[in-house]
Structure 1
Amino acid sequence: MTNQQFINFAKFKVQQWLPRNADNMDGISTDDIFVVWYAKTLQNQKALLGTRFANYYFECTYNGDKEEMYMDVYDKVQNVCIKPKKD
């Protein structure tokens, strides 16, 4: 699987997951899903994806040996601003 094929497949799977599991996600497009980070090592690939329309974070991992993709979904629980102390 090429890099772009993997990214397209991951975005498509996120697009399928959202309407089934999140409110008001009907009609979401793969154009609404963005890649935050991507890496490839040998035959394996990983992408972290998100969308501005939901508080979910997606981690898609492709196992090239088994030709399988795994998708982990995380929910944003809290956003905390922490400022370091100045010395």
Structure 2
Amino acid sequence: MVREYRRASATAIDASLKPLIQRHLGELQRDLRGAGCAGELLVSTSMGGVMDIGEIVKAPINAAKSGPAMAPVAGLTYSRLEAWAMT
């Protein structure tokens, strides 16, 4: 029973997010494709990386807390862009 709480809670969160994420990302994907976006659609993950939109729809738990996880990545990217622009 040790460690089962984490698994059970992650499963419950994933199951509760799935219908919302499927609807939201499905609409987003349709809108982007309708606007002419033909590129790969990626979603930030809680691990600080990105996953294909289809993979996130299958397992939305991977996107939970993705905002805070991406903050350091965004900060580094923007600081590099700023340093580049100043040269």
| TM-score (norm. length: structure 2) | 0.32
Relative to total residues, which structure has the larger strand share, 1 or 2? 1
**Which structure has the higher relative contact order (CA within 8 Å, separation 6+)?**
2
Q: Which has the higher helix share?
A: 2
Q: Which structure: larger Rg?
A: 2
